[in-house]
Amino acid sequence: MRRGGKNGRGISDAINLAWKLAAAVKGKAEDRLLDSYDSERRAFARKLVDTTDRLFTFITADGNFADFIRTRVAPTFASLAYKFDAPREFMFRMISQTALSYHESELSEGVAGKVRGGDRLPWVSLPDSDNYESLSAIGWQVHVYGAAKPDLKAWCDEKKVHTACVQLAHRPRQSRVCP
């Protein structure tokens, strides 16, 4: 799971590559799995570099007009924009990388209702924690929201894949972990 923060981007890249390398080295995946790293992370890396370049150019621009924009207009605009939910949400999603998806990855397959392969794992509050808690364990996981079908549970048991089963109540904030 990708998490935000100042170092989140580099850590996300490292995690993405590390699990793929480990699977390939241990013979649990074909070497071609490593090819997906580039297609998944390149677009974000380009966007990050382009944004950083534009910001650096703006910050280092010379002249009275650039100084005026940098010291008067930009802070006023940022302060005003931050008062509204949409710009705050946009900035949070960009910085935290929660706007990222892997829909175009060769590893992303399938659709179940509104959920597509490559979607981010949605955050769900549970009585004693949340559904992200299981992500601290390194290993393959299947997250089921509702009841896990017996054939899926059997497959996960056979492959030794942790199954995080979350039974949602009528309202999203109320949920419980399935037995």
Tell me: the pLDDT tens digits for 1-15?
Answer: 333 334 455 777 788
108 and 129 in contact (C-beta within 8 Å)? no
Full-model pTM: 0.51
pLDDT computed for residue 3 by the predictor:
37
pLDDT computed for residue 25 by the predictor:
92
Q: How does pLDDT run across 81-124, given as a tens digit for each residue? A: 888 888 888 887 777 777 778 888 888 888 878 888 888 887 88
pLDDT computed for residue 9 by the predictor:
56
13 and 41 in contact (C-beta within 8 Å)? yes
Q: What share of the chain is helix, strand, coil (3-state, %, to 5)?
A: 50, 10, 35
User: Helix 8-25 vs helix 35-60: angle between axes, to the nearest 10 degrees?
Assistant: 160
For the chain, the residue count is 179
Backbone angles phi and psi of 115, in degrees to 5: -95, 130
Q: How does pLDDT run across 17-63, given as a tens digit for each residue? A: 888 898 889 988 888 888 888 878 777 778 778 888 888 888 888 88
pLDDT computed for residue 173 by the predictor:
41
Q: Residue 127 and residue 21: Cα distance in Å, rounded?
A: 36
Query: How far separated are the first and last CA of the chain, in Å rounded?
Result: 23
